[in-house]
Amino acid sequence: MRLRTLTLAAASGTALLAAGLLPAHATAAAPRSAQEGTVSAADLLAKVTSCSQISSGKYRTDEETSATVPVCGKNGAVFWKADMDIDCDGQRTTNCNEDRDPWFQADTAFHQSDGKPLNAETLPYVVVPSTSGIWNYSNAGIKGGGVVAVIYNNKVEYAVVGDTGPSQIIGEASYATAKALGIDPDPETGGADSGVTYILFKNSQVSPIESHSAAVSLGDRLAKQFLANN
């Protein structure tokens, strides 16, 4: 995860132009569905209209913003409402590499079943803040490979917890997550400024973590339980 600043986000597009000459390292297409599973965005959002704050403090959405985002608790889940910065970390691919992403790191906190870093271009995943005095995600029942319902513009996309980021910043997901939700996935200039809801289901884990179809299947089942229990 990058520490995005306004200066860097407005940087020259030279690297982006150069990246067009790169060979393709991954051929799998990112998921395209506008709605995954059988639970609607409206039904999920109706359950997260109020916040019972479980974090000790609040998070910033970017390095230059003030801390306004709490982590909230529900039966069987935690959630937050924030922006979406684009995480391109992990395996080098056509759109996720040092030339396309000034903050690129060739690793993710959690790995595929074969030990390789995750593929941000093809796998929908979400970034959680590293443990700090604000909040400890693992103590809340959130683990690598856990299922997340990401909601934006009346669309639901199921993702996994795939990476960790700065301890005071929240609101980031992989290139594939953004693309599936209709958000500009460009790691340097893309993302959404607001309007993204992240619902993380406690004590869940997709196996293998890189199976998006498994995440959708488990996510849909847990979303139904979430509606029933809240």
pLDDT tens readout for residues 107-127: 999 999 999 999 999 999 999
The 10s digit of each residue's pLDDT in 125-176 is 999 999 999 999 999 999 999 999 999 999 999 999 999 999 999 999 999 9
Residue 34: its pLDDT value, please? 57
- H-type alpha helices, the chain: 6-9, 14-19, 41-46, 175-180, 212-229
Overall pTM surpassing 0.75 (yes/no):
yes
The 10s digit of each residue's pLDDT in 6-18 is 333 333 333 333 3
| 185-208: average pLDDT | 97
Tokens 């400024």 identify what position?
193
What are the Cα distances from residue 114, in Å, to 170, 208, 209? 28, 9, 10
Q: How far apart are CA 120 and CA 5, in angstroms?
A: 21
Of 100, 137, 96, 138, the C-alpha closest to 118 is 96
